[in-house]
């Protein structure tokens, strides 16, 4: 297996003085915290989110396997939550600091605009392929704001680009594959406007397949706290009164140009992988997390296992932490921090019930609900019979079953070949 550095393709000039500075920075024990503090310093708080952004910018190591397949090293990050919590500002900063950064809004983005389209050249009248945002951001970062405003069909189009990091085109006699080796950072609001804890998974309207492709998912809530509100108001006043420069020097935050050069240097020169000790530690923690139970405030135990996809996410995070220090191997300490970041992001969202139904994050209660729906559906829907999909869904909804669970059972039964759509997808027929 080959570890590929997979750095940015932009040629940012690096002087001898720059290299000396970068070696000094990478050997500094607090470089991780300094980089995190330098991420959007005008935005108050969000220390863990800024650390996750730092990991996204540096990225893990892209690997080429002996059979010719590759494993992505780029990290994908999703921010969910209330409006007015600086999600868009964080996306804008990432687009600025990344040597290759593309910012787009979900509401104005189509599948072709994000991936690729085939158009006719006005001069030669031949069909040509035009790359979209994810192709233009190859070896960089694509920032998608208002991710929840995208049409579902357009979101499905980026599945391949996010995991396989390629975009396959087969249109107008053109069959080709384009590279989209980029990180994806997306931001979305709740479907209710503000995040409602009592609604759980109903706050988001994403397919489980798209959510499982994000390495870290943070839920940002605008919680009312008098002391925090006072500190936040003071911070905003300082920013508007131009008093932030002196503070920057005291805290040792790095200038934007330095961060940009440093992360480009690290991505070009370093492709770390897990050390044997770190690999053993992560393996044992993976087994514990996969079989363990997490207690919620209601003292209700939920079995929330992680899949191999989430395990690979933790590996990428650990590699990115090693890359900040220009180390060839990710150590135990890097694995510990990667596990902590995963815990406060995706696992925290999963234990709150917001990722219910997502691959690898189904609770015991969810599993029981799915089994009850499937058992009842098979009992009322004998082999060879036909039924209206709309009427069967409405019937289950009247029994207070969640829409997402009903849709998932139908989807799973179709995938297993037990039922099939007929008559323009209006009817279902039971095959086995």
CATH code of the domain in which 406 resides: 1.10.10
Reply yes or no on whether the pLDDT at 242 is more than 90.
Answer: no
Instruction: Tell me what pLDDT residue 199 has.
Output: 64
Average the pLDDT over 305-329 and give the result. 87
* Whole-angstrom distance, CA of residue 371 vs CA of residue 369: 5
End residue of a domain, out of 306, 325, 351: 351
358 in a domain, yes or no? no
Cβ-count burial of 425 within 10 angstroms (0-12 exposed, 13-18 middle, 19+ buried)?
A: exposed
Q: Which of 140, 213, 136 has the alpha carbon at shortest distance from 178?
A: 136
Confidence of residue 1 (pLDDT cuts 50, 70, 90): low
Instruction: Tell me what pLDDT residue 252 has.
Output: 63
**Mean pLDDT computed over every residue of the chain:** 79
pTM listed for this prediction: 0.74
Instruction: Tell me what pLDDT residue 49 has.
Output: 92
Reply yes or no on whether the pLDDT at 351 is more than 80.
Answer: no
Q: Which of 341, 328, 323, 315 has the alpha carbon at shortest distance from 8?
A: 323
Asked whether residue 120 falls in the same domain as residue 259, the answer is yes
Asked whether residue 199 falls in the same domain as residue 295, the answer is no
Could you tell me the CATH number of the domain that includes residue 304? 1.10.8
End residue of a domain, out of 300, 328, 351: 351
Asked whether residue 22 falls in the same domain as residue 128, the answer is yes
167 in a domain, yes or no? yes
Q: What angle do CA 200, 289, 215 make, to 5 degrees?
A: 60
* Whole-angstrom distance, CA of residue 287 vs CA of residue 285: 5
Instruction: Tell me what pLDDT residue 380 has.
Output: 84
357 in a domain, yes or no? no
End residue of a domain, out of 269, 298, 313: 269
More reliable by pLDDT, 174 or 145:
145
293 in a domain, yes or no? yes
Q: What is the DSSP letter of 298?
A: T
Instruction: Tell me what pLDDT residue 140 has.
Output: 87
Asked whether residue 236 falls in the same domain as residue 262, the answer is yes
381 in a domain, yes or no? yes
Asked whether residue 235 falls in the same domain as residue 314, the answer is no
Confidence of residue 297 (pLDDT cuts 50, 70, 90): very low
Asked whether residue 73 falls in the same domain as residue 154, the answer is yes
* Whole-angstrom distance, CA of residue 346 vs CA of residue 269: 30
Asked whether residue 250 falls in the same domain as residue 277, the answer is no
Give the range with max mean pLDDT: 300-309, 318-327, 361-370, 406-415.
Answer: 318-327
Domain region containing 409: 366-430
Asked whether residue 77 falls in the same domain as residue 221, the answer is yes
Asked whether residue 378 falls in the same domain as residue 233, the answer is no
Average the pLDDT over 72-89 and give the result. 86
Instruction: Tell me what pLDDT residue 296 has.
Output: 36
Instruction: Give the total number of structural domains in the chain.
Output: 3
209 in a domain, yes or no? yes
How many residues are present in the chain? 432
Confidence of residue 300 (pLDDT cuts 50, 70, 90): very low
333 in a domain, yes or no? yes
Average the pLDDT over 284-293 and give the result. 72
Asked whether residue 110 falls in the same domain as residue 27, the answer is yes
255 in a domain, yes or no? yes
Asked whether residue 169 falls in the same domain as residue 313, the answer is no
Could you tell me the CATH number of the domain that includes residue 247? 3.40.50.300
116-120/127-131 β-pairing: antiparallel
| Residue 390 dihedral angles phi and psi, to the nearest 5° | -60, -45
Asked whether residue 245 falls in the same domain as residue 333, the answer is no
Q: What angle do CA 118, 165, 172 make, to 5 degrees?
A: 20
Q: Which of 194, 179, 54, 82 has the alpha carbon at shortest distance from 129?
A: 179
* Whole-angstrom distance, CA of residue 164 vs CA of residue 168: 10
Confidence of residue 72 (pLDDT cuts 50, 70, 90): confident
Three-class DSSP category at 330: strand
């Amino acid at each position: 297996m080959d570890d590929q550095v997979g750095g940015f393709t932009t040629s940012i000039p690096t002087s001898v003085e720059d290299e000396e500075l970068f070696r000094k920075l990478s050997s500094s024990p607090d470089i991780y915290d300094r980089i995190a503090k330098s991420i959007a310093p005008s935005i108050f708080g969000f220390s863990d989110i800024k650390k996750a952004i730092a990991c996204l910018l540096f990225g893990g190591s892209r690997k080429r396997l002996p059979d010719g397949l590759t494993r992505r090293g780029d990290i994908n990050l999703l921010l969910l939550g209330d409006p007015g919590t600086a999600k868009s500002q964080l996306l804008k900063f990432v687009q600025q600091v990344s040597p290759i950064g593309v910012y787009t809004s979900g509401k104005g983005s189509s599948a072709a605009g994000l991936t690729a389209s085939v158009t006719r050249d006005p001069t030669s009248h031949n069909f040509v392929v035009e790359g979209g945002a994810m192709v233009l951001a190859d070896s960089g970062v694509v920032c998608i704001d208002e991710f929840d405003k995208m049409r579902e069909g357009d979101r499905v189009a980026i599945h391949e680009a996010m995991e396989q990091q390629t975009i396959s085109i087969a249109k107008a006699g053109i069959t080709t594959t384009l590279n989209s080796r980029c990180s994806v950072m997306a931001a979305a609001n709740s479907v209710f406007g503000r995040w409602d804890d009592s609604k759980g998974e109903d706050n988001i309207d994403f397919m489980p397949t798209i959510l499982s492709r994000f390495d870290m998912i943070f839920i940002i809530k605008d919680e009312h706290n008098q002391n925090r509100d006072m500190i936040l108001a003071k911070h905003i006043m300082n920013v508007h009164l131009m008093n932030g420069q002196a503070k920057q020097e005291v805290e040792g935050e790095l200038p934007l140009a330095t961060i940009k050069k440093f992360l480009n240097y690290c991505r070009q020169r370093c492709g770390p992988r897990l050390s044997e000790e770190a690999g053993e530690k992560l393996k044992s923690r993976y087994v514990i997390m996969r079989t363990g139970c997490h207690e919620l405030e209601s003292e209700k135990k939920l079995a929330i296992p992680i899949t191999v996809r989430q395990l690979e996410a933790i590996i990428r995070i650990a590699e990115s932490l090693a890359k900040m220090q220009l180390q060839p191997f990710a150590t135990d300490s890097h694995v510990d921090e990667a596990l902590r970041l995963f815990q406060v992001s995706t696992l925290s969202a999963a234990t709150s019930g917001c990722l219910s139904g997502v691959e690898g994050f189904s609770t015991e209660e969810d599993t029981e609900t799915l089994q009850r729906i499937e058992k009842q559906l098979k009992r009322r829907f004998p082999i060879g019979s036909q039924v209206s999909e709309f009427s069967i869904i409405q019937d289950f909804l009247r029994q207070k079953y969640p829409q997402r669970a009903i849709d998932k059972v139908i989807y799973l039964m179709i995938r297993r070949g037990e039922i099939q759509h007929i008559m323009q997808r209006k009817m279902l027929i039971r095959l086995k």
